[in-house]
Amino acid sequence: MNTNPNVMNNKCVFTVFLLVFCCQLMSCQTEKREIISDVYQEVIEEFINNQISDLRQIKNSPPNPPGGEKSSSKIDIKKSNVLKPLAIIINTELFEPRLQINRDSILPEFSFIAKNNPIDHDLLEVDTLKIQKKVGHQIFFQKNFSELSETEKTLEEKAFVVHGTLNLGKIIFNTEKDLAYMEGGYRISKLNGIGFSIFLEKKNGTWKIIKITTTSVS
Amino acid sequence: MKILQFFPAFQTLRQLLILFFISSMISSCSKEEFYEDEISVIPQTAIEAKSKKILINDIDNPILKQVLNGIKTGQLNRGYSDSTIIEIEDQFATYIESKDGNYHSYTFYVTNTPKDEGLENVLFSLNRSGGYDVFLVRYDVTEADIDALAHGETNTSDWKPNYYLLDQDLNVVDPIAFISKENACVHVAVNYLCKFGNHPGGMLNGEPCPGYQMVIMVSYNDCGGGSSSGGEDSGGDPIGGEDSGGIEWDNTPGGGGPYIPDPEQVITEPLVCRGNCVENPWMSEFETQLNTANLLSCWNNFDTAQQGVVEEFIVSDYGSEASMDFALEGVSAICSNGEVDWKNKIIKDPSFIDTKAECVLDELISTGNNLFKETTDQFTENNSKFKLKFAVGTTTQGGSAQTSSPDNNGIVTITFNPNDLNANSLHIASTILHESIHAELKRIVATNNQGSNPLPTAYYNYLYQLHQYWTDNSAPNFVWSHTEHNYMATQHVIPIANSVRQFDENTHPLENYMEFAWSGLYLEGLLGNPPVVTEAQQTEYANLALIPLNDEHQSQCDE
C-alpha cells in the first residue's frame, strides 16, 4: 500500500472529482427525465380521458345512406365487440417527428420546432402505473409494434379487443423549456386511425396541451 | 508557489477547485445537451401575399380592362426622361393578392425602356376606395441583372423600386381620369386621345374635351426638387400647355424625388419578359420559384425534353397556381431521385421508388383500374388544386398507410408504412384504393363538392349528416376519421372489392375480396342500424380472403 501523502492526495482528489461529476450528471438527468415524463403524462392522460372516442357512450347509430331505412330492432352497441376491454397499447420506441405540418396551423411562438432537434429518450421513464390508476384503463407499453407477439398482432389488427394503439413521437422543446411540440397517432386498426400534432405549454409548473391538430387519417 | 509547496493541503484545494470547475463544465445541463444543434429553418415571407402570372384575357375586372384599353389606344409618356412614349406588354401581368384577399395589384412589363436605364414596370395597385393607383415603377439595375431575372437566376429582394404615381383616382371608370389636373405633380405624363370628342359636358374636371391628342408633361422640378427632363408640353394641349406643378403630394420630406408609397399598401415585384413571354409568361416566374426553392441549378441540368414536359404541363393549365405548385413539387421530387407521372399528376417521392407499393400503383394505373381511375381522375383535372403524392415512411399512427391533409401547395401525401410493404399485393392494392378515397373525400369537402364528377346532392348531404353525427358522438379530432370511414363503409366496400378483384384479374368471386375492402371499415360498419356488416360476416370474409391470398395466381408485384 502506497502511503506517500502526495499519492494519497491525488486519490482523494480523484474520488471527490468523481463524486462531483456523478452528482452533476444525475441531477441533470433527473431534471431532463422529469420534464419529459411530465409531458408524456399529460399527453397520454389527455388522450385517454378526452380524445379517444369511447364508443360505449354512443346512444344512436349513425344515419343511413340515401334510400336506406333504419331497422326497427336497435343494435345493442354495448354487446358488440366494440366493448371488449378498453385497453391501450402505447409504443415506447418513439418515432422522429415528420414536421409535415401545414404552416398555417403552427402557432407563431412554436416556430422553434423547425430549429430544435427532438430529444432522444425512452418512454419507459414515464410513470405508467400512475397513469393507469388515473385513467382506469389497461395500458400495455410495447417497445416496437413490429415486435408484438403473433397473438397481440392479431388482436391489434382485428381491433376492438384492444381498443386502440397510441403511437407517440419524440418531443421538441423550446430553449426556455416551457413550450413543447410532439407528434403522434391513434389507431383502432391498421387502416383506421388519425395522426396529430400536439402543442403544449408549461404554466404554473404543469404541462398543458394547448392545441391538437389532426394531420392525417388512415 | 512556495507557500503551496509547503502546504500540500492548499495544493489539494487548488486541484479540487479546478476539478470541480471542470466537472461542472462537463456535466452541467447545458443547452447543447438538451436542445442539440439547429436544423433547417422554415423560410418566412415578409409580405403575406402570393403572386402569379396571368394573361390579360383572364383579368375579370372591367375597370382595369378599360384603363388598359385606354393605355393601348393612348400612350404613356415618361416624365423623367426626354424619351419616349412608354409601351407596355399588355398581354400578361403579374397578379399579386394579399393572403387576406383585401389587396391585389397588377404589374405590367414596359417593353421599350432605353438600354441601361434599368427595368420599368407599370403597376396597378388597388387603393382604399376600390380603384387603382397607377405607378411607373423603376428599378435602377443593370442589364445583366435584368437578364438574370428573366431566367429566374436572381434574388430581387434587394431591388429598390422607385414609384412614379400616375393618378390616384382610377376608380373612375372613364380612363380620362388619368389626367386629372389636380394630380399634376406626377412624374409620368399621359398622352391620351379624348375618345369622346368635344362633346357636351366635356371632361371630368369640367373643362371641355379638346377632341384631339392631349399631352400633359409635368416637370420634376415643379414638385420641389429633383432633375427634370420634362417640364414642357410636348403637344398642344389646352390643359397641359403649361406646367401645372407645385401641388405637393410627394410624401418625401422636402419634396422631390419619386413618390414613395406605403409599402404595406403597395405590393409589386419586378417583372421582365424575354423571348416567348406572351405565349408562355409563366416560365420565368416558375424559374424564380425554382431559384427560391434552391432547385434552379438542378432544373438547369434537366435536358430539353424534360424541361419541355414540365413547361407543357404548366402551359396546359395556363400557369395556374395549382400547376405551378405541382410542377415545383415535381421538380423537387425529380431532383431528389423521385419520379413524376405528369400525365396522371402523381408525384412519387424517392422513398416510394422501387417499392412493392410503387409496383402495385403502376399496375393499377396501367390496367386502368376502374375505381382508382375514377377516384384519382378528380385530382388530375386541370381545375383541381389538389394533387397526389406517394411516399414510404413513418406513419404517425403506426398504421399501414396514412393520407395527409392538403399541405400549403395542395399536395395530399399518401404514406405507406415500410413495415407493411411485404404484405400481399392484394392488401397493398386495397390500401392504395382506401387511401385514395380518403384523399378524394378530403378534396370533395375542401372544394364544397366541386369538380367534374361531384357527389350527387343526396350523397353529399349524407356525408354532411355523418359529419354532424360524429361531431356529436366522438372526440373532435376523430370526427373526420369516423365520418370518412363511415361513408366508405356504406358506399365504397363493393367498389373496392370489385377493384381488388379486377387487380387480381377476376380470378375469384367477389366475396373472396370483401375482406380487403372492409379493412379499416369494420368498426363503422358494425355500428350501423342495421349493421352494414356483422361479426359473423367479418369472420367469413377473413376466411374467404385466404383463397386469393394463397392461390397460385400472383401479381407480378408478388414475384
Query: What pLDDT was estimated at residue B463?
Result: 94
- For chain B positions 450-509, those within 8 Å of chain A (CB to CB) are 458-459, 461-462, 465-466, 469-470, 473-475, 477-478, 480-482, 484-486, 490-491
Q: Give CA–CA dist A40/A171, Å, rounded.
A: 9
Do the Cβ atoms of A50 and A64 come closer than 8 Å? no
DSSP characters for B508-532? S-GGGGHHHHHTTTHHHHHTSSS-S
- Rounded to the nearest 10°, the torsion over CA B368, B371, B374, B377 is -70
Which H or E run includes B167?
strand B161-167
pTM for the model: 0.64
Q: What Cα–Cα distance (Å) separates residue B277 from each residue in B109, B326, B398, B513?
A: 10, 21, 48, 53
CA dist., res. A196 & res. B396, Å (int): 8
The interface residues of chain A toward chain B in range 17-76, judged by CB-CB distance below 8 A, are 17, 20-21, 24-25, 27-28, 31-32, 50-53, 55, 57-58, 60-66, 68, 70-71, 73-75
From the list B36, B41, B404, the residue facing A114 with the nearest CB is B41
Q: How many CA atoms lie within 13 A of A137 on its CB side?
A: 24
- Angle between the B356-366 and B425-446 helix axes, to the nearest 10 degrees? 70
Distance of CA A186 to the CA centre of its chain: 10
Q: How far apart are CA A38 and CA B166, in angstroms?
A: 63
Enter the DSSP assignment of B57.
G
Contact B271, B243 (CB under 8 A): no
- The pLDDT of residue B544 is 97
Categorize the per-residue pLDDT at A38 as very low, low, confident or very high, splitting at 50, 70 and 90.
confident
Whether the CB of B43 is below 8 Å from some CB of chain A: the reply is no
Query: Can you tell me whether residue B414 is helix, strand or coil?
Result: strand
DSSP assignment of B101-134, as one string? SS-EEEEEEETTPPTTS-EEEEEEEE-TTSSEEE
Q: What is the DSSP letter of B192?
A: E
Look up residue B422 and give its amino acid. N
pLDDT tops 60 at residue A21: yes
CA torsion sign for B488, B489, B491, B496 is positive
B300 Cβ partners below 8 Å, 6+ apart? none
pLDDT value of position B47:
42
- Residue B447 has a pLDDT of 79
- Residue B325 near chain A (CB below 8 Å): no
ipTM over the 0.90 cut-off: no
A42 phi, psi to nearest 5 deg: -65, -45
DSSP state at residue B96: E
Quick one: which H or E segment has residue B412?
A: strand B411-416
Q: At what angle do helices B283-292 and B321-335 cross, to 10 degrees?
A: 50
Provide the total of helices (H) and of strands (E) in chain B, helices listed first.
18, 15
Strand, helix or coil at B489? helix
Residues from chain A contacting residue B466 (CB–CB below 8 Å): 62-63
- The pLDDT score that the predictor gives to residue B382 is 53
Q: Residue A187 — φ and ψ, nearest 5°?
A: -135, 150
H/E stretch holding B402 reads strand B401-404
Asked if the C-beta of A132 comes within 8 angstroms of chain B's C-beta atoms, the answer is no
User: What distance in Å separates the CA atoms of residue B114 and residue B125, rounded to the nearest whole number?
Assistant: 25
**Cα–Cα distance for residue pair A20/A142, rounded to 1 Å:** 36
Residue B349, φ and ψ in degrees, nearest 5: -60, 150
User: Can you give the pLDDT at residue B454?
Assistant: 83
Given an 8 Å threshold on Cβ–Cβ distance, is B481 in contact with A192?
A: yes
Question: Closest-CA residue in chain B for A112?
Answer: B41
Q: For B372, how many CA atoms within 13 A lie in the half-sphere containing its CB? A: 24
Q: Is A124 on the interface with B (CB under 8 A)?
A: no
Answer with the residue of higher pLDDT: A144 or A93.
A93
Residues in chain B, overall count: 559
Backbone region of residue B202 per phi and psi (left: phi > 0; alpha: psi in -120 to 50; beta: other values): left
Q: Does B422 contact chain A (CB < 8 Å)?
A: no
Lowest mean pLDDT among A29-38, A42-51, A72-81: A72-81
Judge whether A92 is closer than 8 Å to chain B, CB to CB. Answer: no
Chain position carrying cell 404541462:
A207
| pLDDT string in tens for chain B (559-residue length) | 444 454 455 566 666 566 555 555 554 444 333 333 222 222 223 346 677 777 666 666 665 666 666 555 444 555 444 445 667 777 778 888 877 777 778 888 888 788 888 998 888 777 655 556 677 788 889 988 888 887 766 778 788 877 766 543 332 222 222 332 233 333 333 323 333 333 333 444 445 433 322 223 232 233 333 333 333 322 222 222 222 222 222 323 333 333 444 444 577 888 887 766 666 778 878 888 899 889 999 998 998 888 889 988 888 777 777 788 889 989 999 998 999 988 888 899 999 999 999 999 999 988 888 888 888 777 766 556 778 899 999 898 888 999 998 877 778 899 999 989 989 999 999 999 999 999 989 888 887 887 767 889 999 999 999 999 999 888 888 899 999 999 999 999 999 999 999 999 999 999 999 999 999 998 888 888 788 888 889 889 999 999 999 999 989 999 8
- On chain B, the residues whose CB falls within 8 A of the CB of A216 are 395-397, 402-405, 415
Residue pair B388/B347 in contact by the 8 Å Cβ criterion? yes
Backbone torsions φ then ψ of B246, nearest 5 degrees = 100, -15
Q: Do A103 and B408 touch (CB under 8 A)?
A: yes
Residues 6+ apart with CB under 8 A from B218: B79, B184, B185, B186, B187, B189, B230, B231, B240, B243, B244, B245
**Under 8 Å between Cβ of B256 and B225:** yes
Stretch (H or E) spanning B72: helix B62-73
> Residue B556 is placed in which grid cell?
407480378
C-alpha closest to that of B185 among B116, B249, B254, B240: B249
Among partner residues B36, B475, B527, which is closest to A52 by beta-carbon distance? Answer: B475
Considering only alpha carbons, which residue of chain B is nearest residue A75?
A: B529
pLDDT surpassing 70 at residue A83: no
Is residue B6 within 8 angstroms of chain A, CB to CB?
Answer: no
CB atoms within 10 A of CB B340: 22
Backbone angles phi, psi at B59, to 5 degrees: -75, 120
Helix (H, G, I), strand (E, B) or coil at B264: coil
The candidate with the shortest Cα–Cα distance to A92, out of A66, A128, A60, is A128
Name residue B63's amino acid.
Answer: I
Listed residue (B101, B108, B148) closest to B126, CA to CA:
B101
B245 Cβ contact list (under 8 Å, min separation 6): B184, B185, B218, B219, B221, B222, B223
A189/B462 Cβ within 8 A: no
Per-residue model confidence (pLDDT) at position A145: 55
What residues pair up with B126 in beta bridges, in sequence order? Answer: B132
DSSP secondary structure string for all residues of chain A: ----HHHHHHHHHHHHHHHHHHHHHHHHHHHHHHHHHHHHHHHHHHIIIIIS--GGG--SPPPPPTT----SS---GGGSGGGS--EEEEESSPBPP-----GGGS-GGGGGGGTSPPPP--GGGS-HHHHHHHH-SEEEEES-GGGS-HHHHHHHHH-SSS-EEEEEB--EE-TTSSEEEEEEEEEEETTEEEEEEEEEEEETTEEEEEEEEEEEE-
